Amino acid sequence: MTQDEIIRMAREAGFRKVGDGISTMNGDYTVYGVSNAALERFAAIVSEATKEKAAKVCDKVAKHYITNNKEQEQVWLLAATSDCAAAIRSMK
């Protein structure tokens, strides 16, 4: 994961840069420091992004096998890699 991706996810969770520090938005007020709720939102966003990135590896492998294997093998390989991607996406 790149630094830009992490910064984007932090902003999505409500983090904002304030001077040399960070803050989170709480309604119409800026709360300096970081709340537990903001940290939990950030962790959830990072977790989902990480799972999606891993699942996309399975999707990429599936496409590779579809184009490089015999038709009867393609069905099995596509099912296996699709199941892998689905399992990763459903992780809690």
Q: Is residue 92 part of a domain?
A: no
Question: What is the model's pTM?
Answer: 0.56
pLDDT tens digits, 6-47: 878 888 887 776 665 556 665 544 555 667 777 788 888 888
> Domain limits at 15?
3-87
Q: Is residue 70 part of a domain?
A: yes
CB count within 10 Å of CB 58 equals 18
Name residues whose C-beta falls within 8 Å of residue 29's C-beta, 6 or more positions apart in sequence: none
Q: Is residue 59 part of a domain?
A: yes
C-alpha torsion angle, residues 24, 27, 31, 33 (rounded to 10)? -30
Number of domains the chain is built from: 1
